[in-house]
Amino acid sequence: MADYIKQIRAKVGHTPLIMAGTIGILTDAAGRVLLQQRSDFSGEWGLISGTIEYGETPAQTMVREFKEETNLTVEVVSLLGVNGNLNLTYPNGDVAQWLCPVFRVEQLGGEFNGDNDETEDLQFFEPNAAPHLFNRQHQEALAHFIAGETGYFD
């Protein structure tokens, strides 16, 4: 069901919602992590992520989000952890508490392209030299990745 969240928001407005999403970590051959400069938080950087649509599995969501935001075809190779400790207020006033599995993904194909409505820029960064990420959930996911921690839940 496309635009499921938009349909819900049309009914409840900015009322806080518990949301389910996914966060993905993709590295290049040099071990650098792909980050997205987001259009919803203009100028802010984050990992590739997105909302689970009704009828999707978390892994399907991750594959779809990478395709939409990077034009890359990826596969989910492992679950790194689960993060559920973020309450976020969006610039438009929407409020959400996010529950997100964090996945390690590998590129299968596709031509790298960030020309879409959700992306201002895409770049690979050394994990320890990444710019400040736009929210605590993405910051913690990257920190766990850098520390080599798996199976975590926050």
Q: Where in the sequence is the domain holding 12, given as residue range(s)? A: 4-153
Q: What angle do CA 49, 100, 126 make, to 5 degrees?
A: 50
Q: Taking the model in full, what pTM does it have?
A: 0.91
Confidence (pLDDT) at 2: 55
Segment 34-69, tens digit of pLDDT: 999 988 888 899 999 999 999 999 999 999 999 999
The CB-based long-range contact list for 137-142 (8 Å cut-off, 24+ gap) reads 137/23, 137/83, 137/85, 137/86, 137/88, 137/98, 137/100, 138/23, 138/46, 138/47, 138/49, 140/83, 140/85, 141/23, 141/25, 141/47, 141/80, 141/81, 141/83, 141/102, 142/25, 142/33, 142/47
Alpha helices in the chain (DSSP H): 4-12, 58-70, 136-147
The CA-based diameter of the chain, rounded to the nearest angstrom, is: 46
Percent of the chain with pLDDT over 70: 99
> Is the distance from CB of 19 to CB of 98 less than 8 angstroms?
yes
| Length reported for the chain | 154
Instruction: Specify the amino acid at residue 63.
Output: V
CA distance 14 to 144: 31
Q: What is the CATH number of the domain that holds 28?
A: 3.90.79.10
Confidence (pLDDT) at 148: 97
Tokens 């919602």 found at: 17
Mean pLDDT estimate for the chain: 93
Cβ-based burial of 139 (10 A; exposed 0-12, middle 13-18, buried ≥19): middle
Domains in the chain, number: 1
Q: How confident is the model at residue 76 (pLDDT cuts 50, 70, 90)?
A: very high
Q: How confident is the model at residue 90 (pLDDT cuts 50, 70, 90)?
A: confident
Task: Tell me: pLDDT of 1 over 50.
Answer: no
